[in-house]
Amino acid sequence: MIPTEAIMRKMGGAMDEHGDGQTRRGLLKAAGTIAAGYAAAIVVRPAQATPEQMRAAMRNVVGAAPVRKGRVEIELPALVENGNTVSLVVTVDSPMTAGDYVKTIHVFAEKNPQPNVIGVHLGPRAGRAKISTRIRLADTQTVIAIAEMSDGSFWSAAMDVIVTLPACVETE
Amino acid sequence: MTQITQRWACGGALLAVFCLAATLAASAEIPLDQRRSSYDLMSRETRAMQDDDAANPGMLWVLDGEALWRAKTGTADKTCADCHGEAADSMKGVAARYPAFDTASGRAVDLEQRINICRRDKQNASPLAYESKDLLALTTYVARQSRGMPIESAADERLKPIVETGRVLFTRRQGQLNLSCAQCHDDNWRQKLAGSPLTQAQPTGYPLYRLEWQTVGSLQRRLRNCLIGMRAEPYAYGSPEYVALETYLMWRARGLKLETPAVRP
Amino acid sequence: MARPLINVPARVKRGQTFEIKTLISHVMETGFRYTATGERIPRDIITSFVATYNKEEIFRAVLYPAIAANPFFSFYTVATESGTIAFEWTGDNGFSATESASIVVE
C-alpha cells in the first residue's frame, strides 16, 4: 500500500526535517497512480534538480570552456551518517603564486533540490587552495567540484557519496 | 533509502531483533570493562567535528551560556556569577554527578531542573523551558566545565531507589513493538540497525549537537526520540520518569568520561 | 544570537601560510521544507561570507541552501603584515554579522 500525503503528514514532520524533497518525490510518483480524488490535494513542487539543471548551473560558471578532469581533490565520507551535515574538503593542486593561482572553486550536488552548493573566490593571497565546510546532501549522489585557474582553464573532480539516515528517526 | 522506507526498515529490523531477543534470557547489563561511549562508533569525520573546539557547533552554545552566566536576570537582578563566581572553578565536576538528590523536594533533579530551581529561588526569575535556547546554552556551558572527568552520578545512597525506577523503565517492554531499551542497548549494541551502528546508549556528552536536529539538545529530547522510534508513548518534558531514566543511565555510565558538548549523527 | 566563533593564530611568521576557521550560529533554513499543514517555510540563509586582511579581500564565498546549519568554514591565507583579519556574514532578511581578530606577523 503506497502511503498518501495525508498519511505521511500524520506520521510526523520527519520528512520535512531534512530539507530535502526525496520522500515527497516518491510520494508524488505514487500519487500520480492514485485515483483523481486525491490529485486535487497535491501540489507539484520541484523536489530534485534534474541533470539539465545541474548542467545549466555548471554552464553558468564555465561557459563554453572545456573542463578537464584532474588537479582537484574532493574529500567526503564515502558513507554519510546524516545528510544534514556532511564534512567537505576541496583541495586544488596549484602553486598559488601571483602568476598561477586558483580563482574560484564551485561545488555542485546532482540530486539536491538545487544543484549549487557553494562558490568560493580565492586568489594568490590564499597560499593554499584548500577549503573546508559542511554541506547538506539530500540523497545518495555525485558531488562535483570545478576549479577555475588564473589562466582561464577549468579542472574538475567528482565523488560518489552514499547517504544514510539514523535508524530511529525523530518525528517531533 | 527514502525516509519512509527507512522507518519501515527500522520497524522491521526491530521486529527481527525482538524475535531473536525473545528467545534469550532477560537482558544482561554490559560488563563494566566493555562499556564504551558512542564516540567509538562514529565516523572519523563526526569524531573530528567533536574534537576540534573551533569546529564543534556545540561550542556556539557554550559561548552563549557563558554570556548568560554573566547576565543579570530576574527581579533579584543577579547573575549566576554573583553566587558561583567563575564557572570553570565552581562548576568543575558538577555535571559529572548529575542528576542529583534535591533535599528540599526529596527527589532527583537533573541539571536543567537545578538551573531552574536556582533561577526561582535565588534570582526570582521565571523557569526556562526544556530545549529553549537559553536553558540549553546554560546547561551546555555548565556541563562543559566537567569535560574529561569521569561520571560519578548516583553515588549518593538516597538516589538508589530512583536508579532502580530507572532500571525498571529501561528493561521493561513497552510500546507497539513491545520492546525494551535494554534489548537493543544492552543485548545488541554491537549490531547495526538499518545501516547505523547500535550504541550502548551511554549519555556521556549531553547536551549535545545532534546532526539530525541541526542544533544542541538535551538527554530528555533524545529519550523522546527513542520512545517515539520504538512506537511508545513519550513522557512530558521534566517528568519524573525521564529523570529516573537519566539517573539510571548516568549511573550505568559511571566511570566513563564526560564529553560535553558531544556531536552525534 | 551567539558571537561567531573564529580561530585565527595570534602570532605567525611572515610569509607563512596559516589556517583560519570560522563558525557561526544560523539555522540556514533551506526554503525546501514545509509545515505539517503544507505551507512552505521561507528560505532564510546566509548568502555571503567575506574575509579581509587589512581591508584586502582574502576569501569570499557565495552560499546556497546546501550549506549546513551553523556554517563552518576553514581556509588558508599567507601572513603578510600585522593587522586585522575581519569577517562579514550577510544573508536573507537583512542578516548581518561581523567579527574580527588581530594578528601579529613577526
Give dist(CA A119, CA A141) in Å, integer. 19
* CA-wise closest residue to B180 among B170, B191, B188: B170
Residue carrying C-alpha cell 565516523? B43
Give dist(CA A72, CA A145) in Å, integer. 7
Cα end-to-end distance, chain B, whole Å? 16
The CATH H-level superfamily of A51-163 is: SoxY domain (2.60.40.2470)
Question: At A145, which helix (H) or strand (E)?
Answer: strand A141-149
CB contact under 8 A, C5 and B214: no
pLDDT score recorded for residue B7: 52
Of residues B183 and A165, which shows the higher confidence score? Answer: B183
**What residue ranges do the domains of chain A occupy?**
5-39, 51-163
CB contact under 8 A, B212 and A22: no
The verdict on A83 touching C (C-beta cutoff 8 Å) is: no
pLDDT score recorded for residue A21: 41
The CATH H-level superfamily of B34-52+151-264 is: Cytochrome c-like domain (1.10.760.10)
Of residues C35 and B162, which shows the higher confidence score? Answer: B162
Cβ–Cβ < 8 Å for C77, C17: yes
What percent of chain B shows pLDDT beyond 90?
81
Of residues B245 and A38, which shows the higher confidence score? Answer: B245
Domain count of chain C?
A: 1
Full residue range of the structural domain in which residue C99 is found: 5-33+42-105
The yes-or-no verdict on residue C24 having pLDDT over 90 is yes
CB contact under 8 A, C73 and A132: yes
| Chain B: closest CA distance from residue A28 (Å) | 13
Give A138's contacts in chain B (Cβ within 8 Å).
none
Which residues on chain C place their C-beta less than 8 Å from a C-beta of chain A?
17-18, 29-30, 32-36, 38, 53, 56-69, 71-78, 80
Averaged pLDDT of chain C: 95
Q: What integer is the mean pLDDT of C53-80?
A: 97
Cβ–Cβ < 8 Å for A87, B49: yes
List, by residue number, the catalytic residues of B: 226
Q: DSSP 3-state assignment of B96? A: helix
The cell for B26 is 532477560
Question: At A17, which helix (H) or strand (E)?
Answer: helix A14-17
Q: How many CB atoms lie within 10 A of CB A59?
A: 11
Contacts of B232 (CB under 8 A, 6+ apart): B174, B175, B176, B177
Q: What angle do CA B136, B140, B142 make, to 5 degrees?
A: 120
Query: Per CATH, which fold does B58-144 belong to?
Result: Cytochrome Bc1 Complex; Chain D, domain 2 (1.10.760)
pLDDT score recorded for residue A152: 96
The yes-or-no verdict on residue B183 having pLDDT over 80 is yes
Chains near A (3 or more Cβ pairs under 8 Å) = B, C
Of A155-169, B22-36, B129-143, the poorest mean pLDDT is in B22-36
Of residues A48 and B24, which shows the higher confidence score? Answer: A48
CB contact under 8 A, B60 and C27: no
DSSP secondary structure letter of residue B201: -
CA C54 to chain centre: 17
pLDDT score recorded for residue A79: 86
Residue carrying C-alpha cell 532578511? C93
The yes-or-no verdict on residue B193 having pLDDT over 90 is no
The yes-or-no verdict on residue B75 having pLDDT over 80 is yes
| Chain A: closest CA distance from residue C53 (Å) | 10
Cβ–Cβ < 8 Å for C36, A13: yes
CATH number, domain with residue C57: 2.60.40.10
| Chain A: closest CA distance from residue B194 (Å) | 6
* CA-wise closest residue to A147 among A168, A169, A126, A161: A126
Q: Give me the amino acid identity at B155.
A: A
Per residue in A82-134, pLDDT (tens digit) is 899 999 999 999 999 999 999 999 999 999 999 999 999 999 999 999 999 99
pLDDT score recorded for residue A18: 41
CB contact under 8 A, A86 and C66: no
Q: DSSP 3-state assignment of A126? A: helix
Chains near C (3 or more Cβ pairs under 8 Å) = A, B
Whether the upstream peptide bond of residue B261 has omega within 30° of 0, thus cis, is: yes
Contacts of B199 (CB under 8 A, 6+ apart): B38, B41, B185, B189
Closest in B54, B60, B64 to C70, CB measured:
B60
Give dist(CA A54, CA A56) in Å, integer. 5
Mutate to test the interface with C, among B50, B63, B208, B216 (most CBs of C within 10 A): B63
Where do you find CATH 1.10.760.10 in chain B? 34-52+151-264, 58-144
> In chain C, whose CA is at the least distance from the CA of B49?
C72
CA trace torsion C75, C78, C81, C86 (10° rounding):
-10
Closest in B55, B64, B214 to C72, CB measured:
B55
Whether the upstream peptide bond of residue B99 has omega within 30° of 0, thus cis, is: yes
Whether the upstream peptide bond of residue A66 has omega within 30° of 0, thus cis, is: no
Contacts of A86 (CB under 8 A, 6+ apart): A76, A77, A80, A134, A135, A136, A137, A161, A163, B45, C68
Per residue in B3-24, pLDDT (tens digit) is 444 454 455 556 555 555 444 4
CB contact under 8 A, C60 and A21: no
CB contact under 8 A, C60 and A121: yes
